[in-house]
Amino acid sequence: MKLTAEEQRMLDGGHGRATQKAMEILVALGTIYGAAQMVPVTSVQVSGVSYDNLGEAGLHWLSAMADGGGRTRVLTTLNPAGMDIENWRALGIDEEFARNQLRVIDAFARMNVITSCTCTPYLAGHAPHFGQHIAWAESSAVCYANSVIGARTNREGGPSALAAALTGVTPEYGFHLEVQRRPAITIDVQAALSETSDFGALGVVIGQRLERFKEKPVPYLRGIERASVEQLKSFCASIATYGGAAMFHMAGVTPEADRYAPPDETIVITQADLDQAQQALTSAESVEADFVSLGCPHLSIGEIARIAALLEGRRVTKEFWITTARATKQIADQMGYTRTIEAAGAKFAADTCCVVAPIKGRFKALVTDSAKACYYAAGKNKFKTVIKPFDEVVLAALEQD
Amino acid sequence: MKLQGRPIYKGAAAGEALVTSMGISFFGGVDPDSGIVVEKGHQLEGQSISGRVLVFPTGKGSTVGSYTLYRLKMNGRAPAAIVNAECETITAVGCIIAEIPCVDHIPIERLVTGQTLSVDGAQGTVEMRA
Structural domains present in chain B: 2-129 (3.50.30.10)
At which of A280, A314, A338 does a domain end?
A280
Residue A196 lies in a domain: yes
Per the structure, the count of domains in chain A is 3
Residue B64: its pLDDT value, please?
81
Per DSSP, helices labelled H in A214-300 are 229-243, 271-280
Compute the nearest-CA separation of B75 from chain A (Å): 10
Residue of B nearest to A23 (CA): B96
Tell whether A268 and A366 lie within a shared domain: no
Residues of A in contact with B101 (CB under 8 A): none
Residues of B in contact with A55 (CB under 8 A): 67, 71
Compute the nearest-CA separation of A156 from chain B (Å): 9
Tell whether A187 and A174 lie within a shared domain: no
Tell whether A202 and A272 lie within a shared domain: yes
Tell whether A299 and A229 lie within a shared domain: no
Residue A401 lies in a domain: no
CB contact under 8 A, A29 and B66: no
Residue A38 lies in a domain: yes
Tell whether A40 and A110 lie within a shared domain: yes
Tell whether A72 and A162 lie within a shared domain: yes
Residue A12 lies in a domain: yes
Tell whether A31 and A140 lie within a shared domain: yes
* ipTM of the complex in this document: 0.84
Buried b / exposed e over A61-91, threshold 16 CB at 10 Å, is bbebbbebebbbbbbbbbbbbbbbbebbeeb
Whether the predicted model's global pTM rises above the 0.95 cut: no
Tell whether A252 and A167 lie within a shared domain: no
Give per-residue pLDDT as tens, B82-93.
Answer: 999 999 889 999
Tell whether A101 and A174 lie within a shared domain: yes
Residues of A in contact with B70 (CB under 8 A): 57-58, 60-61
Tell whether A12 and A144 lie within a shared domain: yes
Query: Which residues span the domain enclosing A116?
Result: 5-178
Alpha-carbon distance of A39 to A171, in angstroms, equals: 6
Compute the nearest-CA separation of A32 from chain B (Å): 7
B66 catalytic? Reply is no
At which of A178, A209, A240 does a domain end?
A178
Give per-residue pLDDT as tens, A128-154.
Answer: 999 999 999 999 999 999 999 999 999
Give per-residue pLDDT as tens, B56-76.
Answer: 999 987 778 898 999 999 999
Give per-residue pLDDT as tens, A155-177.
Answer: 999 999 999 999 999 999 999 99
Which CATH number do you get for residue A368?
3.30.499.10
Confidence of residue A337 (pLDDT cuts 50, 70, 90): very high
At which of A257, A280, A303 does a domain end?
A280
Mean pLDDT over all residues of chain A? 96
Determine the straight-line distance between the first and last CA of chain A, rounded to whole angstroms: 63
Tell whether A43 and A63 lie within a shared domain: yes
CB contact under 8 A, A61 and B97: yes
